[in-house]
Structure 1
């Protein structure tokens, strides 16, 4: 289970995104970026954050530590910004805390050159989780202590906003992915990562999602059924035909290898 903490002070909003996360201090003396249950598209975004980030961590990709954080209704009363105050009041109870990485810098392709193997693994991983939000416009990568960290996975697993659209073989076009120009042998990276993805691993990851964020999902009778649906979907995607990663020319080049030949070297059919 994810560790559970309590918020003690709301520090400041982060207005870069539309969901208005905030920097919050907690009773464990830590500082976190909190994703609020009633922001944006609601609890499903938090579900995607947990499943994607924790799966990525278990596959060897760096993601900030996650915790569950309780919000007291009085925390919002003291906030002068009316928009933030309304969000805090509506999100009273359980929310998601992401470890704050002090001094981290956003990924800048002119300053940081991504390792080709790492880039290939991230491209395949984002395809696995249907993550459309790691583009040149919004890399969602941080450089911290000379390592590259993956953040903000709320846009992943987007099919769960309408489960009837869930298709384990739905194509994923990596042309706009920020790391595509650096990536070499994506099929090889996929084979490496897929070999680690088991039903037991996926069940362990989905078990981290609180029942209250899964209960009441249309078309399902219980939180357990929703978890099983995520597990089956990702298992089929990881071990199915594997033709869902579309091989198209990158729409914007970075300073990396930057060719379709490099992107698919060693695995193109």
Structure 2
């Protein structure tokens, strides 16, 4: 399948269109075989990862771990760039970003796409979903109300933000995630965590979260509303600087002692496995109401795939003393 093979609207292979333009989880669709009814979730749950890949299925994570269907009340509007709100849902508390926010619908799309790519790369994110705003008016500070329709929501989880030291880093359950995070942020050009030019844009350790894992911690990444482009997708996709940018993102000063050659090697090897079909599936899950056209998805797909290979080529030499370890 070529990068331009997006139908308008683009529907994820094998599954139907969900309410409000969002895509339902595969677990909602029953499968009938020999007069017996099975849930797709049960079938997937019994299959090995290799078997799923042989069948050509890549499991999207949106709405799999956590699937609220109703925003019940607003707990607190937040003064963020997207004017998010802390809300109570029928499945617990979450952080909601909706249409009509100052950063525009591109912020919702990049949030969803980056969350899926983070999971694909092997990073931990809060459980996330698309929820329909129907009857409740959710206020945005100095911005009126979120528009009704599909909104991005992530689940509230326990943990602490980064302290700028190694209190959490030295007690990580998966220390390889430090290297993986730098590779990931560089891939998606995420300047909203640790930018490549901190003298112009300060560090944002609020977007680096640590959640307890027994007596240790796990890195959790979230808030990816400002990735890939600085402005709008329509204006910037296709511009050469998006692909040619070889600056390192996400590399906090306190990370230096924890960047490991084997972890960088594993992350680079995973990047080289990026598949056009996987990226198209991710982009195809963007709700239609967010206004990302088929042509924009095609250009975005090309950037994601091409930049994965580009980052795999240059990042070892910038992160490691012996970059050849990652080039095999």
Pick the TM interval, shorter chain. Answer: 0.7 to 0.9
Question: Partner of 1:227 in structure 2?
Answer: 297
Q: Deviations over 1:180-223 (max 9, x none)?
A: 412223752442221331112112211221122134xxxxxxx3
What secondary structure, in the 3-state scheme, does the structure 1 residue paired with 2:94 have?
strand
Length-normalised TM-score, structure 1: 0.76
Return the match for 2:237 from 151, 160, 163: 163
Q: Specify whether residues 85 and 40 from structure 1 end up closer, same or farther in structure 2 by C-alpha distance, changes over 3 A only.
A: closer
- Do the aligned partners of 1:63 and 1:149 also contact (CA within 8 Å) in 2? yes
1:57 deviates by 0.7
1:112 deviates by 1.2
Q: Specify whether residues 175 and 158 from structure 1 end up closer, same or farther in structure 2 by C-alpha distance, changes over 3 A only.
A: closer
Question: Partner of 1:43 in structure 2?
Answer: 105
Question: Partner of 2:210 in structure 1?
Answer: 143
Residue correspondence of structure 1 range 105-144 to structure 2 within 5 A: 105-108=160-163, 109-113=165-169, 117-135=176-194, 137-139=203-205, 140-144=207-211
Equivalences, count: 241
Q: Specify whether residues 11 and 188 from structure 1 end up closer, same or farther in structure 2 by C-alpha distance, changes over 3 A only.
A: same
Return the match for 2:133 from 60, 71, 74: 71
What secondary structure, in the 3-state scheme, does the structure 2 residue paired with 1:233 have?
helix
Tell whether 2:259 aligns with 1:183.
Answer: yes
Question: Partner of 1:252 in structure 2?
Answer: none
In structure 2, C-alpha distance between the alignment counterparts of 1:246 and 1:132, rounded to whole Å: 20
Q: Extract unaligned runs of 5+ from structure 1.
A: 216-222, 249-259
Q: Deviations over 1:71-100 (max 9, x none)?
A: 246424xx6xxx537442x42222111111
- Do the aligned partners of 1:214 and 1:226 also contact (CA within 8 Å) in 2? no
1:21 deviates by 1.2
Length-normalised TM-score, structure 2: 0.64
- Do the aligned partners of 1:171 and 1:243 also contact (CA within 8 Å) in 2? no
Residue correspondence of structure 1 range 232-251 to structure 2 within 5 A: 232-240=302-310, 242-243=312-313, 245=315
CA-based RMSD: 3.0
In structure 1, C-alpha distance between the alignment counterparts of 2:272 and 2:316, rounded to whole Å: 21
In structure 1, C-alpha distance between the alignment counterparts of 2:186 and 2:135, rounded to whole Å: 38
Q: Specify whether residues 91 and 166 from structure 1 end up closer, same or farther in structure 2 by C-alpha distance, changes over 3 A only.
A: farther
1:8 deviates by 1.3
In structure 2, C-alpha distance between the alignment counterparts of 1:193 and 1:204, rounded to whole Å: 18
What secondary structure, in the 3-state scheme, does the structure 2 residue paired with 1:158 have?
coil
Question: Partner of 2:122 in structure 1?
Answer: 60
Q: Specify whether residues 166 and 67 from structure 1 end up closer, same or farther in structure 2 by C-alpha distance, changes over 3 A only.
A: farther
Question: Partner of 1:256 in structure 2?
Answer: none
